Amino acid sequence: MTFRWFGADDPVSLRHIRQIPGVRGVVSALYDVPVGDIWSRDNLDQLAGSIDAEGLELAVIESIPVHEDIKLGRSGRDRLADQYAESIGSIGEIGVPVLCYNFMPVFDWMRTDLSMRLPDGSFALAYDDEVLARMDLSKGTGDLPGWATAYDSATLAGLLDAYSRVSEEQLWDNLAWFLERITPAAESAGVKLAIHPDDPPWPVFGLPRIITSGPALEKLVGLVDSPANGVTFCTGSLGAHEANDLPAMARRLGEKGRIHFAHCRNVKRTGPRAFHEVAHLAGDGDVDMHGVLTALRDTGFDGPMRPDHGRMIWDERGRPGYGLYDRALGATYLQGLWEGLSI
């Protein structure tokens, strides 16, 4: 069982994480490297060392961002892919076995409310396509929850314009090109690539999104037929779409040996393309957590797992989705389920 940590600035300390029952692995990243630059061995050593010093282990890198020029298939992608491969080599050298990454254009995860009050007085992240449609991107990302300083208006307009000419098929081609370039480096470094599904699993602001469903994940692992080319099975991202049968998807991908990392989180769907996050328990939302863990267990999954986003409970303040308490409860719930399946 692992836990995400955002580095020295994270209000949740490694000491707190160490005290969560069963958690021994940390999921982290270098947060001050410009996108596209090489991750130096020195900085990685420092990150791993700070985690070791607290009795924990750096188990997963989540994530090295993929430069937009790679996703867009622009010239310059050769150098960027080589640099990405070099970073993968360094990750392997320090003994981290899994790299989580994503291929979402412009935006990573997207929500329309970072603090939706639930009936029990807790606060959760929420998404509603109708609210998104009313958001104005003409001033950059200033109006978007969680994207306060990411892009100014000119940069964002330029990216949106560039992607307006990129079809889903082209995005798939660009992803295939990227995987062909980096998978050999991952193989020789002993690093498993684990793509994170698009969150939410449908287009936002007209941007194409392709890693959204069971067939898409199976297509992905077929792009480069290597055990190093796999997925992060994120139940919250995939579970936002009612068409996704999560236990069946986990079983099929697990049988291929291509699930390298599990993100477990629950969501409650409130309409077409609308949902909010809930506690991890299967009974609290639409994710059949027991079914997913049974499928993982049955197919021999032995990779890292982490509770994904949690609600804000017990008056905790901090990084939306990444407080201590609800995620810690999620970690113990998931381990209880797993223990029950292991008897």
Query: Which chain residues interact with Mn ion by CB under 5 A?
Result: 234, 263, 308
List the beta bridge partners of residue 233: 262
Shortest reach from residue 289's CB to Mn ion, in Å: 14
**Spatial CA neighbour of 99 closest among 229, 4, 191:** 191
Shortest reach from residue 236's CB to Mn ion, in Å: 6
Exposure on the CB side of residue 3, measured as CA atoms within 13 A = 31
List the beta bridge partners of residue 100: 62, 194
Does 263 qualify as catalytic in the annotation?
A: yes
SS3 306: strand
Nearer to Mn ion, 217 or 234 (CB): 234
Please work out, in degrees rounded to the nearest 5, the angle formed at the alpha carbon of residue 30 by the alpha carbons of 170 and 59. Answer: 90
Does 322 qualify as catalytic in the annotation?
A: yes
Of how many residues is the chain composed? 343
Strand pairing of 192-195 and 266-271?
Answer: unpaired
Please state whether the peptide bond connecting residue 63 to the residue before it is cis, i.e. omega within 30 degrees of 0: yes
Nearer to Mn ion, 187 or 308 (CB): 308
Shortest reach from residue 38's CB to Mn ion, in Å: 26
Nearer to Mn ion, 264 or 329 (CB): 264
Does 290 qualify as catalytic in the annotation?
A: no
Q: Measure the CA–CA gap between 112 and 234, rounded to whole angstroms.
A: 20
Does 234 qualify as catalytic in the annotation?
A: yes
Nearer to Mn ion, 145 or 239 (CB): 239
* Residue among 10, 128, 309, 326 flagged as catalytic: 309
Nearer to Mn ion, 12 or 156 (CB): 12
Element (H, E) at 302: none
* Residue among 241, 263, 276, 280 flagged as catalytic: 263
Name the burial class of residue 271, with classes exposed (0-12), middle (13-18) and buried (19+) by CB atoms within 10 angstroms of its CB: exposed
Shortest reach from residue 281's CB to Mn ion, in Å: 17
Shortest reach from residue 183's CB to Mn ion, in Å: 22
Does 100 qualify as catalytic in the annotation?
A: no
* Residue among 234, 264, 288, 333 flagged as catalytic: 234
* Residue among 322, 325, 326, 333 flagged as catalytic: 322
Does 276 qualify as catalytic in the annotation?
A: no
Provide the annotated active-site residues. Answer: 196, 234, 263, 308-309, 322
